[in-house]
Chain A
Amino acid sequence: MIQTISINNSKTVLIISSLFLSVMLFACGGDDAGENSQLASKKSSEITIDGSSTVFPVTQAVAEEFRKEHPDVQIPVGISGTGGGFKRFTVGETDISNASRAIKPEEAEQAGSNGINFIELRVAWDGISVVASKSNDFVDCLTTEELKLIWDAGSTVDNWNQIRADFPDKKIRLYGPDTDSGTFDYFTDAINGEEDRSRSDYTASADDNTLVQGIAGDGGSIGYFGYAYYVENSDKLKLLAVDSGSGCVLPDIGTINDGTYSPLSRSMFIYANTASIDRPEVKDFLEFFMNEGGTLAEEVGYVALSAADYQSNIELINAQ
């Protein structure tokens, strides 16, 4: 009996002591590791980017191509959202912030009070697309007033014939991004006249693919999301034209780029900390972004700016 206890005893002591030992080792090793990685960061440079998940695919594509030429530069990209990204950017935690809207005055103020100067670079266009199910055969175009009638706060529209008299007597079901989304902010501002002003009794999801599935499988549905999600699912969805007073316009690369798809064309931005631009790798990256960003933006489903716009961005970068 005593013998078995002593065997177990030594095992247990071994386990406990090895655990504590590893903690101690870790605690001691922490400082060394810190120094090592500081050395490492001097050798291989890093550009930190965070912000909008809408702009993320463009930045990721550019960073991926940039690293093929500069494999020693690490570019981790985060998706804290436009607002979350600016929170980090305005305290100097990140070099570049992705944004699906322009910086707000209070965010710019915040940056100023922390001694952060920045430049705004427009990098691509997106057209928020209004879509219905492929099986919907009665609607091709909606006016902005009709969209507002459907989506405005307090709207009680629940049947297509309430929107236009010649629409059939069919239940309407609504799908859209949730309130955290930059797409929601932009759409509500453009259509309902005020950011975040929207009816709330619709199927909301942060995942646009959920919206795609919902709309595709529902003959009476209507919804909206970024153009890239329509392009990838054009076999299941029917794209609706939007009439803002000068005729029905379908979003496509041409109408989004020249702004005739209005008011749902929006810009996507990156913001760069001017202090970071002093570092050659950040400057190289930004110039690379302006040279290649247009092509890569179209590859991931967005619309490129005009060549002149990218050129003036490069001049802005070089002026820093």
Chain B
Amino acid sequence: MSINSAQGPRGKSKRFDLIRTWRDRIFFIGFLLAILIGVAGLAALLIDVLVDGLGFLNWKFLTNYASRKPLESGILAPMAGTVWVVGLTAIFTVPVGIGTAIYLEEFAKKNRLTRLVELNISNLAGVPSVIYGLLGLAVFVQFLFNGSRNLTAGALTMTLLILPIVIIASQEAIKAVPSSYRDAAYAMGATRWQVVKTVVMPQAVPGMMSGIILALSRAVGESAPILIISSLVWVTFVPTSPDSKFTVLPLQIFTWVSQPQEDFRSIAAAGIIVLLLILLGMNAVAIWIRNKYQVRSE
């Protein structure tokens, strides 16, 4: 009797263990498949682009302007335009984005108004980029610059596009700073600005920087707003000032892909490789900054 009653529950738990192990395996395989789909897709895309474009990627391609002949085409103008747009966008975005995040997290009272502002920021992060292009055309090009479709107008439009992302990322970075740190500083008689400056910022900078650079990477890849702001796809000069006309890499790639000649698709693939390298470079910088400041702050 006593043996039986002891076996009963043990048998049950064995069966249960078996089900648990199976369930574990099924979910393991399921999750593995989920990631493999993404990785395989990315790998296929990369291989396709590399096979098509690598042969066309040479020094001439980087230093020539676009041409109607695929083999003489280069990406100097759009590459320079992209660097300009990203640089100006960073200058506009960083102070406003970080400032907004600090204000919302550290200074603003949590009332209905700030909740409304935060809700709006999250909504703005989901607005399609082409809408920002139209807004930029109306506000910056037509109103602010009197019809001049210049780099500053493009960068300001991109700023509107990525500002919500930067604000949200910076807010998250600030929120991740343990409140005990702040409390300790306040207990020592620090003012709010002192707390922000000496306690919150050093801890939050790595997170903010990765957020900012990822947002800027998005700006690098956007073509729709720039198509509306600049519309130029054949430019034979490097912009020399913020009020210069310009074009950007995604726009040039977009134009090449839609040309009838087959070779332009290979040239477009070479352009994609350059764009990917720029993006990888920016992400590397983000990681480098994060690691550097993480070590410092510890």
Chain A residues packing against B (C-beta within 8 Å): 5-9, 11-13, 15-16, 19-20, 22-23, 26, 29-30, 33-34, 36-37, 40, 50, 53, 56-57, 60-61, 63-64, 67, 74-80, 84, 91, 93, 206-209, 226, 228-229, 231-233, 296, 299-301
Contacts and interface: CB of A to CB of B under 8 A. Distances in A.
A64 B242 contact: no
Contacts of B175: none
B296 A11 contact: yes
B94 interface: yes
A79 B152 contact: no
Nearest to B297: A8
28 contacts: A5-B198, A9-B198, A9-B202, A11-B202, A12-B197, A12-B201, A15-B205, A16-B98, A16-B201, A23-B91, A23-B92, A26-B88, A29-B242, A33-B243, A50-B231, A57-B68, A60-B234, A74-B237, A75-B234, A77-B234, A79-B227, A91-B147, A206-B258, A208-B260, A209-B258, A233-B260, A296-B68, A300-B68
Interface string B234-270: 1111001111110100000001011111100100000
The CB with the most chain B CB atoms within 10 A, among A8, A206, A226, is that of A8
B236 A74 contact: yes
Given A9-B198, A9-B202, A64-B67, A33 B258 contact: no
A26 B67 contact: no
The 8 closest A-B pairs by CB, nearest first: A8-B202, A33-B241, A78-B231, A77-B234, A232-B260, A12-B201, A61-B68, A80-B231
Given A9-B198, A36-B241, A67 B236 contact: yes
Contacts of B258: 53, 206-209
Given A12-B197, A64-B68, A76-B232, A37 B244 contact: yes
B95 interface: yes
Interface string B43-66: 000000000000000000000001
Contacts of B152: 30
A273 to B, nearest CB: 14
Contacts of A9: 197-198, 202
B260 A229 contact: yes
Contact of B241 (A15, A37, A61, A300): A37
A84 B241 contact: no
Nearest to A40: B240
